[in-house]
Amino acid sequence: MSLNRFGLLREKVMVSWLKTFKQIFNTEERGGETKLLEKITGEQLSVRLDQTLAENLEKKEKFKQELSALIQQFGIDLQEILPDLENVNVEEKREHEKVKLIVRENLKLYIAQLKQLATQLRERNNLHGLTAQEYHNKILNCIDEFDRRSHLPFEKATLLVGKELGAAKTAITNLIREINNTAHTSRAVFEESELISQLAALLPKLKSNELSIGDLDRRIIELREGLAQAKETGEAMQKEIEKIKAGEEYRQDLQAQEEHQQQLRTLDRELHEARQQINLKFMAKHFHHDPEKSQLIKAYSENFQAALENDQNLAIIGLVKDSQNIDLNSGNSWKGLPAKVSELNKPFLTKTGQEIAQLEDKVTALAAKIVSIEANIIQETKKKEKLAKKEEEILREVNRLSRPLFSTITEDANNHTKIVASSEYSK
């Protein structure tokens, strides 16, 4: 039987912990009775795991010492058996010479292989630097190799030699049986070692997960603080806008803006009346042979107001006179019209209007920022929930592995207490 079946693990398990778990209570149903499980912190679990690991290493060291004692005893037994084998006199046997020769040669070969086995076991009976698994495997490999090489010589030698070979076989059989018995007795030690290794591997994962949740918590707090600040700033800007709108200066600016709008409406009416006084289509036909005049008429046709603003000398009046025989200078409707268009086309800005526009731009930017922050909060919260779910899974596995390892902790003389660990961030 090989200790490989027991899953021997490495001798050292590094156990580190950043924070303690949040202490909690859990209950367990046993025989219809609800039992309060022990509360334990991560720090306590780490200490107990270190203690259990140290105890487990001592048990495995004891297992190695027991195997070493078996090897030493086997060496002593061989020292008694080998002389008897070497003193066997095949010549005294009543058998054909050919058979005697076969037995003699194979007995000699078997004795050499026994001596080689004894040497190899003695060389490998050095416990320093070897794990229990490594030491056990080296012993079994030696025996397996001996069994493979010695099987045929042994069978051939038994044609004439019985008692002495039987003693050697018995010694080897007893060694294998004792090794297997020792391994079977120590089975729980190696099962415990596997649990320790699995649990120790989970603790850093849990710590890393816990740190990530902590980072997300801080990130979410920062985002919420930024969100509150953005909303507060936005509200303050809205109040500032309302304050401006409630002031006398804003009322005056509104009045000025209304007057400006009235001037624009008057200008539109005047432009419409001026447009009705000329026949641009007729003029285009009349001056089609003159590129310069045709270009001016085309400009008026495409954008009457822009063309009038650019025609500060009112060259259009002369063209109307030449083509339609209409004197636009006879009235006052065209005089000063280009200057009026230029003046009213300038942006009309009031102080309060500019202040409000700037504040409203900032409010709009803040609104977009608030939407972005809220989206980030949702995203980070989902990440945290995912990590919290992962943490719950790890904690369940930690609890499952902890129970058989620490089942010796008792509440009273009869009932074992099981350990339940919970993370600081577990909800």
Distance, in Å, from the CA atom of 296 to the CA atom of 318, rounded to the nearest integer, reads 12
Provide the number of structural domains found in the chain.
2
Same domain (yes/no): 190, 49? yes
* CATH code assigned at 44: 1.20.120
As given in the structure block, the two tokens for residue 134 are 């490594």
* Nearest partner of 26 among 408, 413, 398, judged by Cα: 398
Asked, for residue 125, whether it belongs to a domain, the answer is yes
Q: Are residues 297 and 242 in the same domain?
A: yes
Question: Burial of 56 by CB count in 10 Å (0-12 exposed, 13-18 middle, 19+ buried)?
Answer: buried
Q: Is residue 87 part of a domain?
A: yes
What span, in angstroms and rounded, lies between the C-alpha atoms of 350 and 253? 6
Is the domain of 133 the same as that of 243?
no
Largest CA distance in the chain: 163
Residue where a domain terminates, one of 367, 387, 416: 367
For residues 299 and 309, what is the distance between their CA atoms, to the nearest angstrom? 11
- What the block records as the tokens of 387 is 């990590």
How far apart, in whole angstroms, are the C-alpha atoms of residue 32 and residue 26?
16
90 belongs to a structural domain = yes
Residue located via tokens 């001037």: 263
Q: Give yes or no for a contact between 338 and 308, defined as CB atoms under 8 angstroms apart.
A: yes
Contact 391, 244 (CB under 8 A): no
Q: Are residues 190 and 145 in the same domain?
A: yes
Give dist(CA 278, CA 320) in Å, integer: 7
- Six-digit token pair at 404? 């058989």
Beta-carbon count within 10 A of 352 CB: 20
Distances (CA, A) of 272 to 164, 267, 305, 337: 136, 8, 10, 12
* pLDDT one digit per residue (tens) for the chain, 427 residues: 333 322 222 222 222 222 323 332 233 444 444 444 566 666 777 788 888 888 888 888 888 888 889 989 999 999 999 998 888 887 777 778 888 888 889 989 999 999 999 888 888 777 666 788 888 888 889 899 999 998 999 998 888 888 888 999 999 999 999 988 888 888 888 888 888 888 888 888 888 898 999 999 999 999 999 999 999 999 999 999 999 889 888 888 888 888 888 888 888 888 888 788 888 888 888 888 889 888 988 988 888 888 888 888 888 888 888 888 877 776 667 877 887 887 777 777 788 888 889 999 999 999 999 999 999 999 999 999 999 999 899 888 888 888 888 754 333 333 333 344 444 333 3
> Does 329 reside within a domain?
yes
Residue 243 is classified by DSSP as: H
For residue 83, what are the domain limits?
A: 34-201
38 and 95 part of one domain: yes
The whole model's pTM is what? 0.57
